[in-house]
Amino acid sequence: MLYLFNVVMGGGEIADPEGSEFSCLDDAREEAKQIARDLVAEELQQGRPVEADWRIDVTDEFGNVQAVVRFRSIVMKPRLRIVHSEPACEVTPAMLGNAPFLDHYHCAHAVRQEIHAIAANITETFEEMRARLAQL
């Protein structure tokens, strides 16, 4: 299937004029991540900042957004381990073409994951404290 990688930087967009063929969306998403890594490296080598809202919209040949790869997900590593990774809701095919929905969905999903990781870290800390207190 043909996928296009449109780079969105702030208010501007650089459209992919040719695209590339991939057997599945996961492969196209991995390619988008590599493109983002390359662009981040180039920007940083030139001494330019990478903005938090930059992203790559992976679209099909008809312009329907199939995936969004945010540059911040490439640059920033997760601060906490993820305990639960299942989505908060089922994404339907109709939702995939709605870029604002996808943005909101991915942000909400990331917040949910971070909340679960924080809760797990708090639980682990309390368990360590209880074990130390028991040794006293």
**Model pLDDT for residues 9-56, shown as the tens digit of each residue:** 888 899 999 999 999 999 999 999 999 989 988 888 888 888 878 999
pLDDT for the residue 136: 65
Q: pLDDT, tens digit, for every residue of 108-130?
A: 777 777 887 787 778 788 777 77
Do the beta carbons of residue 58 and residue 35 sit within 8 Å? Answer: no
More confident residue, 92 or 98: 98
- 8 Cβ partners below 8 Å, 6+ apart? 53, 54, 55, 56, 57
Counted domains in the chain: 1
Tell me the one-letter amino acid at 45.
Q
Token duo for residue 65: 């957004």
Is residue 62 scored above 80 in pLDDT?
yes
Domain that includes residue 121, residue range = 2-135
pTM, full prediction: 0.56
Sequence-distant (≥ 6) Cβ neighbours of residue 51 within 8 angstroms: 9, 10, 71
- Taking the C-alpha atoms of residue 21 and residue 81, their distance in angstroms, rounded to an integer, is 34
Take residue 12 and report the two structure tokens written for it. Answer: 């501007």
Question: Is 50 exceeded by the pLDDT of residue 82?
Answer: no
